[in-house]
Amino acid sequence: MPAPLVGFLVALVFLLLRIDVPNIGWLSFATNTLDYVGNLVTPLSLIYIGIVLAKAGLGSIHFDRDSIVALLGRFVLAPAVMFAIIMIGSGMVGGMPSMEPRH
């Protein structure tokens, strides 16, 4: 079994059984180390994706009809739908709560 899948299953067991990992003694070292590794996952994945894209080259990207529709849906349609939902929600009774303080 792949290591990420094993890690996911172990974490799932800990979450479902509500097992609390103590942060004492030598376990604090392990907890801190795992926190540091966890914080590195996103930057390392972005570096890896950048390396793969650099090796593939920009010339290998082809925009067919499906790619264009997916890009338009992701970057045009989805923000427009979200904007419409926010505008409808702000016009409802009571409005939407704001996180900004009012002066």
In this structure, is residue 99 part of a structural domain?
Answer: no
In this structure, is residue 82 part of a structural domain?
Answer: yes
Q: Are residues 78 and 52 in the same domain?
A: no
Q: Are residues 55 and 42 in the same domain?
A: yes
Domain that holds residue 54: 21-60
Model confidence pLDDT, tens digit, residues 29-73: 877 888 898 899 999 999 999 998 888 887 777 889 999 999 999
Are 50 and 60 contacting, i.e. CB atoms less than 8 angstroms apart? Answer: no
Indicate the number of domains in the chain.
2
Q: Are residues 32 and 48 in the same domain?
A: yes
For the record, the structure tokens of 11 come out as 């974490």
- The structure's pTM equals 0.45
Model confidence pLDDT, tens digit, residues 16-30: 998 887 777 777 887
Q: Are residues 70 and 43 in the same domain?
A: no
Residues 6+ positions from 14 with CB-CB distance below 8 Å: 21
Rounded Cα distance, 26 and 30, in Å: 7
